[in-house]
A = this chain, B = another copy of it.
């Protein structure tokens, strides 16, 4: 059965498959539409470990185990998975030097750097305002 909630407002005649007309289909605010392709990139860029990896890579390129040590709390599995996702998105570069022991360098692509700067802006703002957040959280508990 058709469980999808159709958006009666838009998409007059679209088969939902045409990737070439993205620029005409997707306009600002389209993120709220379930099928918006930006959602994937947003999800990857704002993923739990993705954010932290991007911030680390802004400073300089890193090796895998360097990132592992730098990004506190990340497991090897999740770091590998996060890096693979970001690489597939064209956000990070992976350069493997075929030596023993292995040596792999991760760095940001041009668009990856732009995106990482945006992500870091948000992260920095949160850190600078963390006290306001803590206060707001406490207030909400008192009110509740």
Contact = CB atoms under 8 A, between A and B. Distances in A.
Contacts of A135: 90
A139 B72 CA distance: 31
Contacts of A33: 72
Q: Is the interface of A mostly helix, strand, loop or mixed?
A: helix
B131 A3 contact: yes
A131 to B, nearest CB: 5
A119 B118 contact: no
Contact of A31 (B87, B123, B133, B134): B123
Contact-residue size bin, chain A (C-beta under 8 Å from the other chain): 35 or more
A121 B46 CA distance: 13
A127 interface: yes
A130 B32 contact: no
A34 B88 contact: no
A5 B132 contact: no
Contacts of A78: none
A127 B26 contact: yes
A136 interface: yes
Contacts of A114: 129
8 closest residue pairs by CB, A with B: A90-B136, A34-B72, A46-B46, A34-B73, A90-B140, A3-B131, A38-B130, A38-B127
Given A90-B140, A121-B122, 14 more contacts: A19-B134, A22-B130, A22-B131, A31-B55, A34-B72, A35-B72, A36-B127, A37-B130, A38-B133, A41-B130, A42-B122, A88-B140, A112-B136, A115-B125
